[in-house]
Structure 1
């Protein structure tokens, strides 16, 4: 019975294991009668014979037999065996103290528990039991004793490995893995409508592949484009020294809301506050300005006329912002939205900052220093890590889930790195053309599934994050595409900005 295989592919699923996890699922969903019925009809028990033996010993308080049974389990590694014995002896100590058998409790602690765990865990156990004793809290009635023994069984289920016990909610985990694998293999994933009734597949028909609107309001090269966090606005900036705030009316249609005219030099960067009420604008030869989105009025200019800002970013509270300067003596400044300086990183040894970002959770500050170095600063611990690229970095972009960031390189590659934990070997997205231009890429789609980038060959390139080769190459612009932005609330909408003085809005062809 245990070797009988089922399934359309044959040889992959053991019938005994399959039925057993179905029984576990029925129990976890509260269908106890159905679970018992299936156990009876199939002759397969949710609990293994080894675990049923342990369960009997624990519920009846047969601790010597319980310890003996654990020691006889050949499939246990030394560490797992020690963990199982430790939680048994921990409960046994409690019952000894409850009976007033202090001598036996001390013997178990000295002869059995010591050596199973590290010294700190054993010490904490002893202190905890002594504390209960002193407070007179060790007297437990029989009803609570039974409840604590059942809790011990629950702990044992988590410690002991298969097939002695099953991992919690195993069937749901397997189904989630299967659905997740289908999503990962869905090249054009753009819908979260996932059903167990059929294999998941998103059609190219729902992907932004067609130009549905061309915006021509700028009078010179358009260098930056960015949707607001709520997807209701679009901001663009240009070498014509202006920035424009656009209102997103519906998928495929936007209209001009405000022209921002206070800058005296080209505007190369914009940043929406997380609450979308304010917009920052700056340029390589310009100061940093703060605008009210509703009125289009400049609320504040940061720094003096000689303070040149290359990039800027908001903290998630929409009250603090940070900017970096291409002038090494200026460094990085943190301000509040009223213009008060909070902190500065500057000095003669400070390298120039070419790009800067704050992760959406406010945990990390990421800076591009001296073209090839990426500095990741934990703002809570001040711990810093440095990543070095072999080629010059022209821009960076952070994913909304705080896990990854991408950098554009003048070697015609885009690299993706993780932010927290061990650095991964970067994924390399190739195909687009980039040498000296500051071309900016972005994450987009559901859960940042896609990476989009402009290119010097006048095209927009789109990759699925799991693949190195582009899945779409969008044509329409006449000159270099400097920047792209994916609407975070409308995953079927993409915007691109070009040296041809236009912004293109891309949507599925059916729109």
Structure 2
């Protein structure tokens, strides 16, 4: 606390803590207009100026991280406080001045009523934003602008030693850079971080020596410096091969190195920065990284975002939130398939997206070729002989074979070779079987099948039973990408099964019968159609019900829902009210309801590689192909051009 007494006998008190500076009984910012004593006015102004200087120097002394001694406040007989030297002030201007809760940047100030400058106070988050802006400006070459920002804010981008280290790296002074690295050792958290950083520096040195045609020096660097670190042995052995290239161009390509200069050194600097904490040196391209994360989050939360791929910064405007309109969503019918003569119970795109299979009560399996540009379907082959109708279709992982199952009365299944357009095998184990469901293993050479009468078989591609499991009354089957066999049974459960040990584990239990289910590509989520309840989403890992979706009409008939969209963010299901319902995975209420079918919609299949198209199969004997209004217009234009030609 510093005290002084003005000529009027009033005592002034300057109180300073870690983050704020206040004065009690402070002098007025302007002179009293009723005061006729000009000398008093001048004294007041002089004391106000001195008080502001005293406040600034106290703040500098308290908050500077490099201060190790406390300057003694000295008051002369006229109440003037001794100030620190201008050299010290310049030093403080070049350092980041921080406290536990705020950062006071003495380089930035704003005028008071009488024109004197008062230091600006920045919060910690504001300080970090300034550093991020400075780093980005620096990365695009606006170095003068960065200097102005540093001067006005008093905020530096990185630690002084880190800045020196960067300059040495970018100028290719490898020996000095290694010495500077030792001074940063105290900040490196990883136990072998210093060794890894040395390795990266010496690797760059080694490549540049090769480019400079100094093969012997490069060999010395490799043998005595790089090998001396005793890390990354395999990489070190690989480095020896780069000495043997006759062409530098070939060496660049093999080493994935851009050559001596700014780009390769900048890449090196980005690798080195990852070992240093952000308060010493900011991570590379940190502002761009944060903005990319924000764009990715907006894409995930966008209700209608269905375009393939991940958005990047150049795809969006940073001045407004990303939001897609309904017009970008597959919501119009671009084609109606009418080749079936009875109810269509199932439809499924092949894993590679080039084919669509449909199965009907009329006993026919239809295979369509998919035009990947227009999404038009062209009938390729009709397979007949399924006298009980087709209730389930399962494509093998490599899109060549398809298994066809019938209804509860059917005791056989078929495996069709789509490429050869012929039957590969036909399985009938016993007359009492009911084979209504099947699923391929990831190898594409084996599958599991079963039905409601207690049969559960593990078979090869020729239909030979390898193993069996008695007494499991199956409703639906699925095999995950890592080979886990999942089955829904008549006890309203979904369990995992291991045929090698004949053990099972319950994962899900519902209160009503599970009519069908499908699993997300990552094996984490399961989408269930529940009798009289509708569509439920479960987390298979946590074994928890995540969400119940509203709107759909579900009785006791089998209905097949689907995941869809770029990251399977959407869910679609048919309904007994002849509509197709679509939800965003995180929303219980439907975001769109599609009309067009005239009877129950039994199955929906989303295209596996193009999020802009899906198919729906209905009791009205048709299969509808859905896409975006934009794509529909494109197809109509192409059709009109073909007709005119």
TM-score (norm 2): 0.57
SS in 2 for 1:408: strand
Whole-Å separation in 2 of the counterparts to 1:183 and 1:468? 19
Unaligned stretches of 5+ residues in structure 1: 6-10, 71-82, 92-139
State the match for 1:263 in structure 2: 386
Matched, 1:410 2:534: no
The equivalent of 2:429 in structure 1 is 304
Local SS of the residue matching 1:448: coil
- The 1:265/1:161 distance shift into structure 2, 3 A limit, reads same
- CA, structure 1 residues 377+179, in 2 after alignment: closer, same or farther (shift >3 Å)? farther
What SS does structure 2 have at the residue aligned with 1:280? strand
Separation in 2 of the partners of 1:35 and 1:366?
A: 58
The Cα of 1:3 is off from its aligned counterpart by 6.6
Where does 1:24-423 land on structure 2 (aligned, <5 Å)?
34=141, 40-43=147-150, 44-48=155-159, 84=189, 163=279, 170-192=286-308, 194=311, 195-197=315-317, 199-249=321-371, 251=374, 253-284=376-407, 285-286=409-410, 287-304=412-429, 306=431, 307-328=433-454, 330-333=455-458, 335-342=459-466, 344-347=467-470, 350-359=471-480, 361-376=481-496, 384=505, 386-419=507-540, 421-423=541-543
Moved more, 213-222 or 282-291: 213-222
Residue 142 of structure 1 deviates from its aligned partner by 6.4
Q: Structure 2 unaligned runs (5+)?
A: 1-95, 97-102, 109-121, 167-175, 196-222, 232-268, 633-645
Query: Cα distance 1:24–1:141, how it changes in 2: closer, same or farther (>3 A)?
Result: farther
Relative contact order, higher structure (CA 8 A, sep 6+): 1
Q: Distance in 1 between matches of 2:296 and 2:499?
A: 33
Q: Distance in 2 between matches of 1:19 and 1:154?
A: 20
Which residue is equivalent to 1:455?
A: 575
Pair 142,239 (structure 1): closer, same or farther in 2 beyond 3 Å:
closer
Q: Contact conserved, 1:311 with 1:354, CA < 8 A, in 2?
A: yes
Structure showing greater radius of gyration is 2
- Go from structure 1 to structure 2 and tell me whether the alpha carbon gap of 1:385 and 1:214 turns closer, same or farther (over 3 Å shift): same
Deviation of the 1:367 alpha carbon: 1.3
Q: 1:170 and 1:177 mapped to 2: Cα distance?
A: 11
1:15, distance to aligned residue in structure 2 (A): 4.2
| CA gap 1:262/1:25 in 2 versus in 1, 3 angstroms | farther
Which string of whole-angstrom CA distances, capped at 9 and with x for unpartnered residues, describes residues 333-371 of structure 1? 2x23233444x3413xx4311111112x23422211224
Q: Deviations over 1:368-408 (max 9, x none)?
A: 12241111358999884522122221111122344322111
Q: Is the 8 A contact 2:532 2:556 kept in 1?
A: no
**Cα 1:455/1:142, change in 2 over 3 Å:** closer
| SS of corresponding position for 2:477 | strand
Residues 239 and 165 (structure 1 numbering): CA distance in 2 closer, same or farther, change over 3 Å? same
Residue 430 of structure 1 corresponds to 550
SS at match of 2:335: strand
Secondary structure at the counterpart of residue 582 of structure 2 = strand
Q: Cα distance 1:341–1:47, how it changes in 2: closer, same or farther (>3 A)?
A: farther
Contact 2:342–2:361 (Cα < 8 Å) also in 1: yes
Whole-Å Cα distance in 2 between the matches of residues 238 and 13 of structure 1? 66
Give distance in 1, aligned partners of 2:124 and 2:145.
18
